[in-house]
Amino acid sequence: MRTHPTNSHHPTNPHHPRRPATTSATLLTTTAATLVTLVTLTTTASAASAPPPPTTTHPPQHPTTPTKPTATSAIRPCPESALKITASAVTSQRPDVLRISANNRSVTPCVIDRIPTVTFGDLDGAAQPDPPAESAPYRLAPGATAYATVRTVTGEPSPSTRTVGFITVAADPAHQGRRFDAAALGAPNDIRVWSPTTTWWRPTAG
C-alpha cells in the first residue's frame, strides 16, 4: 500500500475569500483622521465654554459749549485819568443830598463799578448802595456821563451824627477819587454824616 505524504499546511478553501492584508499606510491614514477629529471637537468645546470678552462701556460724550464773553466783560476798565468826576448839592437847603457824576472823556468805551465809592473825611467805610447790590461793571460810552445821588444823612439824625470837612468820590474802588470840600458843596459848617447811602450809577441826572 502506497503512503501519501502528509501536508502540514491547510489547503485553501475556495468557498471563503481571502481577507485582504492591512497595510501600514492605511493605519496611519486612519489614525491621522481620528486625531484631526478629536482636535476639532476639543477646540469647538473650548470655544463654546470660554466666557465672552468683557464689554467696555464708554460714557456718552457731551459737546463742550465754549463760554462766550459778554460785551461788557470784554471792555477795558476806565482809567481814572479818562474820567471827570463832579459833585454838588442838589439844593442849598439840602446840603446832605448830593448829585455826583462820572464822565468818560476818552474816545473808547470803558467800564466803571456800578456802585460809586463815596467816603467821608477820615471816617471808616463808604456810602452803602441803595438798593443793596454787589459790585458789577457799568459801561460808559465815549463822552457818556453816569449820575448818582448821595444822601449823607438817612433816617432821623442821632446824637452820634458826625461831621466832616470833605468827601471823596470815585467811580471805582481801585481809584483814589476826587476830593470835594464842604464849602464847595454848600455846607460851610461841614457835612453831617449818618448812615450815608448812594444810588447806582444811571444814565440820566433825574
Average pLDDT on 43-55 reads 48
Question: What single-letter DSSP state applies at residue 136?
Answer: -
Instruction: Specify the residue for cell string 457824576.
Output: 101
What is the separation, in whole angstroms, between the first and last Cα of the chain? 170
The size of the chain, in residues, is 206
Query: Greater confidence, 24 or 136?
Result: 136
- Closest by CA to 166, choosing from 120, 130, 103, is 120
Mode of pairing for the β-strands spanning 197-198 and 128-129 = parallel
pLDDT value of residue 148: 98
CA proximity to 167, closest of 190, 145, 188, 144:
190
Q: How is residue 142 written as a grid cell?
A: 465815549
| pLDDT tier for residue 159 given thresholds of 50, 70 and 90 | confident
Give residue 22's identity as a one-letter amino acid code: T
- Which amino acid appears at position 157 of this protein? P
Return phi, psi of residue 7, to 5°: -95, 120
Q: The C-alpha cell of 100 is what?
A: 455826583
Distance CA 170, CA 98 (A): 14
Q: Which of 58, 80, 105 is nearest to 172 (CA)?
A: 80
Predicted confidence band at 132 (pLDDT cuts at 50, 70, 90)?
Answer: very high
When pLDDT is cut at 50, 70 and 90, the band that residue 52 belongs to is: low
Identify the CA nearest to 169 among candidates 72, 78, 88, 82. Answer: 88
Three-class secondary structure assignment of 129-172: ECCCCCCCEEEECCCCEEEEEEECECCCCCCCCEEECEEEEECC
Would the pLDDT of 48 be above 80?
Answer: no
Q: Mean pLDDT across the stretch 146-150?
A: 98
pLDDT tens digits for 178-205? Answer: 999 999 998 888 999 999 999 999 999 9
Q: Above 80 in pLDDT, residue 37?
A: no
Question: For 64-96, how does the pLDDT look when each residue is reduced to its tens digit (9 = 90+)?
Answer: 444 444 555 589 999 999 999 999 999 877 889
Residue 101 grid coordinates = 457824576
Neighbours of 169 (CB within 10 A): 24
Q: Which residues, listed in sequence order, are joined to residue 166 by a DSSP beta bridge?
A: 181
Q: In whole angstroms, what is the distance from residue 202 CA to residue 182 CA?
A: 25
pLDDT in tens, 8-19: 444 344 444 444
What is the arithmetic mean of pLDDT over 116-136?
97
Q: CA-to-CA distance for 113 and 137, rounded, in angstroms?
A: 5
